Amino acid sequence: MPPLTRVTLDNGLKVLLKEIHTAPLISSWVWYRIGSKDEPTGKTGISHWCEHMQFKGTPQFPSSLLDKAISREGGVWNAFTFLDWTTYFETMPVEKIDLALRLEADRMVNCIYDPKELESERTVVISEREGDENEPLFQLGEAVQSAAFRVHPYHHEIIGDKSDLKVMTRDDLYRHYRTYYLPNNAVMAVAGDFKTKLMLARIRELFEGVPDGPNPPRLVRPEPPSPGEVRVTVEGPGETTYLQAAYRAPAASDPDFYAMSVLDSLLAGPANLNMFGGGISNKTSRLYRALVEKEFAVSIHGGSAATIDPFLDTFTLTIHPQRKAEEALAALDDEIKRVQDRPVSANEVARAIKQARAIFAYGSENITNQAFWLGYAEMFATYDWFLTYLNRLSAVTPKDVQHVAQKYLLTQNRVVGTYIPGGAEGDNEI
């Protein structure tokens, strides 16, 4: 394992550095502990919109120069907003990484939020939202998520509600930026071909002068226990029926998360926790064999996300055109009941673990992914979570798998959503 250095600067910025001398590249990430989870009603989508505004320039780095500057130097960059966090990264040739470091130190504190740029971006974000609304699975997923969380702010989609996007002001966004984009609310993760002493010195030089601030407010609204199964129906254009069954699931820091990962691998195929990693076939999974091969569904996939608070373990089915959604749901329930009632064989659990380990490894191998995991794990636990994940997976037993199936995959613990395409209502209702 490459050497890891962990340092907290005087202003509270947590820095994680990992030397990897396999290629002349360095990947630098800055993670902020702000996502859609801390957005109150009336401000939904503000974190994602702020992410867009961070690319609109500072006095030192005008927006017209940013993209060209990164690409001209042979680098790539991007950003993501999630439920619990927002992150920005650049992967650059070794000799060009200083541009990325200077950029992130500057836009941590000096972004302009020009009113004209903000209005232009309002149109972009609303168009993005409207584009999502044309997708049946977005419509279905939003309905299921909002039904699953009546109180907790995981209730709303990351992109936010259109009513909020239309009325938020420049002052709202700039206040959000200044409240949460603080060094004491951030983690910087750098991996690649560098010398730790020199890299740390440069980071101190650029970032330690950025002022800290009060610890940002958190929207703490625990979700009460589910009163029972909830059913939702979405109707829209198209020819395909979809079904989602979403179960309340443990947070990533919960010891049950590891057994749930193996259960997901067993039932639907391994889920990739890395948000831009690849996947592997799920054709050996129980649900594929029971639902796709027996033509209840055209496809099945599922899994959990690594989150701070308990979120959802969701199975998404594309219903076979000759089947009803209720038939596919019954087949899904039968497979879950099999796991709950009869212990899974040691060989099957071993295969599920092997697949889960493989997809985790595939999403952790290159320099960009190594830097990703340095910061990502810190958002919901610590980097030690990443370092011990494979060992914790390997320790899962058939009894553990049965236990989490009995504990979490209960009808009273789920939301079932059905997307009914136009003209097919009578054939596919549950």
What are the tens digits of pLDDT across the range 132-182?
Answer: 999 999 999 999 999 999 999 999 999 999 999 999 999 999 999 999 999
Model confidence at 314, pLDDT cuts 50, 70, 90, reads very high
Query: What domains appear along the chain, each with residue ranges and CATH number?
Result: 4-207 (3.30.830.10), 230-428 (3.30.830.10)
Distance of alpha carbon 51 from alpha carbon 114, whole angstroms: 14
Please give the average per-residue pLDDT across 189-200, as a whole number.
Answer: 97
Distance of alpha carbon 397 from alpha carbon 385, whole angstroms: 19
Q: What is the pLDDT of residue 161?
A: 97
Distance of alpha carbon 302 from alpha carbon 317, whole angstroms: 9
The answer to whether the CB of 70 falls within 8 A of the CB of 90 is: yes
Q: pLDDT tens digits, residue range 211-220? A: 999 999 999 9
Please give the average per-residue pLDDT across 353-366, as a whole number.
Answer: 78
Q: What is the pLDDT of residue 283?
A: 85
pLDDT of 412 > 70? The answer is yes
The answer to whether the CB of 199 falls within 8 A of the CB of 27 is: no
pLDDT of 429 > 60? The answer is no
Positive or negative torsion for Cα 29, 34, 37, 41 = negative
- How many C-beta atoms lie closer than 10 Å to residue 183's C-beta? 27
Nearest partner of 147 among 231, 222, 221, 245, judged by Cα? 231
More confident residue, 417 or 362: 417
**DSSP 8-state class, residue 62:** B
pLDDT of 69 > 90? The answer is no
Distance of alpha carbon 257 from alpha carbon 251, whole angstroms: 7
- The per-residue b/e assignment along 199-215, b for 16 or more CB within 10 angstroms, e otherwise, is bbebbeebbeebeebee
Q: What is the pLDDT of residue 358?
A: 81
Among 16-30, 202-216, 249-263, 411-425, the least confident range: 411-425
Model confidence at 198, pLDDT cuts 50, 70, 90, reads very high
Sheet containing 242-248, strands listed edge to edge, beginning at the edge strand earlier in sequence: 230-236, 414-421, 242-248, 312-319, 297-304
- Cα distances from 416 to residues 2, 65, 213, in angstroms, run 45, 48, 43
Model confidence at 66, pLDDT cuts 50, 70, 90, reads confident
Q: What is the pLDDT of residue 361?
A: 74
Q: What is the pLDDT of residue 427?
A: 43
pLDDT of 277 > 60? The answer is no
Mean pLDDT over the full length of the chain: 93
Q: What is the pLDDT of residue 428?
A: 43
Distance of alpha carbon 11 from alpha carbon 27, whole angstroms: 23
DSSP H or E stretch at residue 101: helix 97-107
Q: What is the pLDDT of residue 50?
A: 98
Residue % of the chain over a pLDDT of 90:
84
Biggest distance spanned by C-alpha atoms of the chain: 68
Q: What is the pLDDT of residue 359?
A: 78
Distance of alpha carbon 401 from alpha carbon 240, whole angstroms: 33
Q: What is the pLDDT of residue 384?
A: 93
**Amino acid present at 12:** G
DSSP H or E stretch at residue 347: helix 346-362
Please give the average per-residue pLDDT across 233-248, as a whole number.
Answer: 96
pLDDT of 276 > 80? The answer is no
Q: What is the pLDDT of residue 270?
A: 79
Cβ neighbours for 121, distance < 8 A, ≥ 6 positions apart: 49, 52, 53, 56
Q: What is the pLDDT of residue 209?
A: 96
Name the one residue in this structure whose structure tokens are 């749901």.
329
Q: What is the pLDDT of residue 424?
A: 42
Q: What is the pLDDT of residue 2?
A: 60
Distance of alpha carbon 111 from alpha carbon 88, whole angstroms: 14
**DSSP 8-state class, residue 128:** H
Please give the average per-residue pLDDT across 71-93, as a whole number.
Answer: 95
pLDDT of 425 > 80? The answer is no
The answer to whether the CB of 383 falls within 8 A of the CB of 4 is: yes
Distance of alpha carbon 362 from alpha carbon 280, whole angstroms: 9
The answer to whether the CB of 319 falls within 8 A of the CB of 428 is: yes
